Amino acid sequence: MAVTFGRVLDNKTSTRIEREVASAIKRQGSDWKGNTFYTLLLVMLVLTLFILAVLIYGVVADGWDILTGWLPSFLGGTLGSIKAFEGQTLGVQQGLAGSFWIAVFVALLSFPIGIASAIYLEEYAPKNRFSNFIELNIRNLAGVPSVVYGLLGLFLFVEGIPSITGGRTAASAGLTLAILVLPIVIITSQEALRAVPATLKEGSYGVGATRWETVRRQALPYAAPGILTGTLLSMSRAIGEAAPLILVGAITGFLGSNPSIVDPRQLDDAFTAMPILITGWTQNPMPEFRVAAAAAIVVLLVFVLLLNAATIYLRYHFEKKREA
Amino acid sequence: MTPKPKHSTTGTTAESADISSSVDSTAAHLMVAHLTVADLKSSKSRKNRQKAVHAGLALAAMVSVAVSGFIVWSLISEAWTFIVEVEWSQIFNIGWFPRRGIYDVSTLLTATLITTAIAMLIATPLGLGAAIYLSEYARSSTRAFIKPILEILAGIPSVVLGFFALYWVAPEVIGRISDNSTGSLAAAGVGVGILTIPLIASISEDAMTAVPSSLREASTGLGSRKTATTLRIVLPAAISGIVASLIVAVSRAIGETMVVFLAGGAGDTALFTSSPTDSGLTMTAAMASLASGTDNVVGEGLTVQSLYFVGLLLFVFTLLLNLVANRFVSRIQEKY
């Protein structure tokens, strides 16, 4: 028996009222708006994952004949016509060679210059208008469309200093892409250096170390995983980039020589690269070249995704280690 | 005996540490007698190395400034020739035929507008949906699983999206709603949209995670549901970051080249069109197609210069968008 508003209620009524009050407070089962919103979000996410799955499936399915049929000779083959496809001498070796040398340029130029810039901006530069200008400038460079870097490469390296680069060569392409990823290397290295605890640096100064000694012995080792992540990311960006190479004059049709991938003599010669090769074959209306393009995409994706996987692993690994 | 410093250090620094913490004046006197000002100074070679390193690092930082200078110089010097010498009647004509001296820029601008609009229609709901889910709803185990997948999507080269847009989106999606199942501006727009999903997702997720959890807790404490907290508290608080992500995505979509070049369906010429299901040339695709001919960038009269003119337009548009986006991003950084 319960008493409500001075009235005596029987057990049944009081339980009913209790339940109503409880459900009014919890508002169970009535949140259709919230449920719809949640479902909507989930649909968006699943759709995104679905698109990625279809993309991977589509590329692998299109390239299946080559990937399961004659992958080894495809990896060692050259640019060519439909006859080359039928004779299984078509392939990606020239593209791999071009992309390899582009990667070498990026590693030798962008990494040192980029990391040095980041150190200067984070550890040395006075906080004034000029350093603000440099920072803003770098952020804007990171947003410049890649095709504009192609124009820069065409103007500066192909037509500006052909006596050094040899014109439309792998060297020009490497220089152009090294410039293109420079802002990415700088920004990610800056973020890594900014995350170094101030106590670490103060301790180093406290025992009499100079600024450079502090940077080299304390800040750089601490920031190394972050910097490495940035460099790997920029490398994967560089080997997947096609638009600037088209402007610099990469070859999509036929390329005479097929030297071994690491032969540096090809640097002052006409060149192609993986994304360019894919572009050329995708544009070719013959269905055989759709297969070739898809197979080449799978080869490129293996490299790009390995680099990305390495960065993701590094980041999560070190985040966990720092937290511990 | 005075307490020794906890950290064991070596050389003069340890001795000076001892001096400062020592109350034993005789010991301190003994030390000082051995130390002169010259001892405390860095050696000359150490100082020189300092200076050399400083100069080297500053020089490296100047490289990026030089790059910007070269970009502006190359674009303006060549585009200027175009602007001065082109007949203006050719700027407003039937289409884009650069090798024949017809440079209707509005053809390219309209096509760019169409692909960018379609890309944003695709990427905004998907990217924001993923960001809100990951930031507000997902368990940490789900996040740890989904985020790397989004990063993989972000890492896929644009040629791959171009291939996908041409051979899968065009026939399977656009081909079903129109007659054109080869390349079209719509197919290219969808491809560009897929490319920008991770961009929107990651920037706006960062903005939402930066919202202090005290705001969420206060909202929940007042009896708000999850939906109300998300839509009325978190989203408004993160709005500048979200807007920035959308602006960056627009800038990226305008500058994206390979997807529109491969899936846009046009050669290196195009008639003016405002229909998304037609084939067309955007600014970027026009540049790429002009440069990828067998003769590379050669043509009648001002063909080469037209390339730089379009490049300059592209550069100015994306620069303005990026400057605005930077403003928004720095606003959210100041707030929290």
Q: Token pair 């894919």 is at which residue?
A: A278
Q: Any idea what DSSP says for residue A10?
A: -
What is the distance between the alpha carbons of residues B310 and B109, in angstroms, rounded to a whole number?
10
Residue type, B12: T
Question: Are residues B170 and B319 located together in one domain of the fold?
Answer: yes
pLDDT score, position B6: 42
Question: Are residues B30 and B131 located together in one domain of the fold?
Answer: no
Q: Of B85, B102, B118, which residue is a domain's last?
A: B85
Question: Are residues A191 and A238 located together in one domain of the fold?
Answer: yes
What is the distance between the alpha carbons of residues A151 and B106, in angstroms, rounded to a whole number?
21
Q: Is A117:B64 a contact under the CB 8 Å cutoff? A: yes
Structural domains of chain A, count = 3
Mean pLDDT to the nearest integer, B12-27: 47
- Chain A: closest CA distance from residue B243 (Å): 16
Question: Are residues B162 and B53 located together in one domain of the fold?
Answer: no
> Which of A218, A216, A225 has its CA nearest to residue A191?
A225
> Which of B70, B67, B48, B63 has its CA nearest to residue A116?
B63
Residue A282 lies in a domain: yes
A266-279 pLDDT per residue, tens: 776 778 889 999 99
Interface of A with B in 4-43 (CB under 8 A): 31, 33-34, 37-38, 40-43
A9: β partners: A2
For chain A, percent of residues with pLDDT exceeding 70: 90
Q: How far is CA B174 from CA B60, B127, B181, in A?
A: 48, 21, 6
Question: Are residues B206 and B256 located together in one domain of the fold?
Answer: yes
Tokens of B242: 């979200």
Q: Is B142:A45 a contact under the CB 8 Å cutoff? A: no
Question: Are residues A51 and A172 located together in one domain of the fold?
Answer: no
Question: Are residues B34 and B60 located together in one domain of the fold?
Answer: no
Tokens of A113: 């210059």
Question: Are residues A119 and A143 located together in one domain of the fold?
Answer: yes
Residue B224 lies in a domain: yes
Q: Which of A119, A141, A301 sits opposite B68 (nearest CB)?
A: A141
Question: Are residues B211 and B147 located together in one domain of the fold?
Answer: yes
Domain containing A56 equals: 31-62
Question: Are residues A253 and A142 located together in one domain of the fold?
Answer: yes
- Chain A: closest CA distance from residue B31 (Å): 18
Q: Any idea what DSSP says for residue A168?
A: S
Residue A72 lies in a domain: no
Greater confidence (A94 vs B315) lies with B315
What is the distance between the alpha carbons of residues B146 and A44, in angstroms, rounded to a whole number?
13
Chain A CB contacts of B151 under 8 Å are 308, 312
A8: β partners: A3
Residue B219 lies in a domain: yes
Structural domains of chain B, count = 3
Q: Is B183:B273 a contact under the CB 8 Å cutoff? A: no
Residue B5 lies in a domain: no
What is the distance between the alpha carbons of residues A56 and B3, in angstroms, rounded to a whole number?
66
To probe the interface with B, which of A48, A159, A237, A248 has the most B CB atoms within 10 Å? A48
Largest separation between any pair of C-alpha atoms in chain B: 98
Question: Are residues B70 and B156 located together in one domain of the fold?
Answer: no
Residue A318 lies in a domain: yes
Residue A69 lies in a domain: no
- Cβ distance of A300 and B157 shorter than 8 Å: yes
Say whether the ipTM exceeds 0.95.
no
- Cβ distance of A304 and B227 shorter than 8 Å: no
Q: Which of A37, A58, A308 sits opposite B151 (nearest CB)?
A: A308
Question: Are residues B18 and B99 located together in one domain of the fold?
Answer: no
- Chain A: closest CA distance from residue B60 (Å): 5
- Cβ distance of B311 and A151 shorter than 8 Å: yes
In whole angstroms, how large is the CA radius of gyration of chain A? 29
Provide long-range contacts, Cβ within 8 A and 24+ apart, for B79-85: B79/B305, B79/B308, B79/B309, B79/B311, B79/B312, B81/B302, B81/B305, B82/B302, B82/B305, B82/B306, B82/B308, B82/B309, B83/B309, B85/B301, B85/B302, B85/B305
Is B68 buried (19+), middle (13-18) or exposed (0-12) by CB count in 10 A?
middle
- Cβ distance of B152 and A307 shorter than 8 Å: no
Question: Are residues A9 and A37 located together in one domain of the fold?
Answer: no
Question: Over 60: is that where the pLDDT of B153 sits?
Answer: yes
Residue B271 lies in a domain: yes
Chain A CB contacts of B288 under 8 Å are 147, 243, 246-247
A3-34 pLDDT per residue, tens: 555 566 677 887 888 887 777 666 655 678 88
A153-183 pLDDT per residue, tens: 988 888 888 777 777 888 889 999 999 999 9
Residue A250 in 3-state DSSP? coil
A196-240 pLDDT per residue, tens: 999 999 999 998 888 899 999 999 999 998 899 889 989 999 999
- Cβ distance of B323 and A140 shorter than 8 Å: yes
Interface of A with B in 234-273 (CB under 8 A): 236, 239-243, 246-247, 249, 252-253
Question: Are residues B243 and B330 located together in one domain of the fold?
Answer: yes
Question: Are residues B35 and B75 located together in one domain of the fold?
Answer: no
Q: Is A73:A88 a contact under the CB 8 Å cutoff? A: yes
Question: Are residues A153 and A111 located together in one domain of the fold?
Answer: yes
Question: Are residues A93 and A242 located together in one domain of the fold?
Answer: yes
Q: Which residues contact A49 (CB under 8 A, 6 or more apart)?
A: B146, B149
Residue A101 lies in a domain: yes
Residue B1 lies in a domain: no
Question: Are residues A150 and A16 located together in one domain of the fold?
Answer: no
Q: Which of A114, A124, A140 sits opposite B322 (nearest CB)?
A: A140
What is the distance between the alpha carbons of residues A307 and A181, in angstroms, rounded to a whole number?
15
What is the CB-side half-sphere exposure of residue B100 using CA atoms within 13 A? 10
- Cβ distance of A243 and B133 shorter than 8 Å: no
What is the distance between the alpha carbons of residues A283 and B159, in angstroms, rounded to a whole number?
11
Domain containing B54 equals: 44-85
What is the distance between the alpha carbons of residues A13 and A15, in angstroms, rounded to a whole number?
6
Segment among A14-18, A108-112, B117-121, B169-173 with least mean pLDDT: A14-18
How many CB contacts within 8 angstroms connect chain A with chain B?
261
- Chain B: closest CA distance from residue A96 (Å): 15
Question: Are residues A186 and A235 located together in one domain of the fold?
Answer: yes
Question: Are residues B20 and B128 located together in one domain of the fold?
Answer: no
pLDDT score, position B26: 54
Residue A32 in 3-state DSSP? helix
* CATH assignment of the domain containing B172: 1.10.3720.10
Mean pLDDT to the nearest integer, B2-25: 45
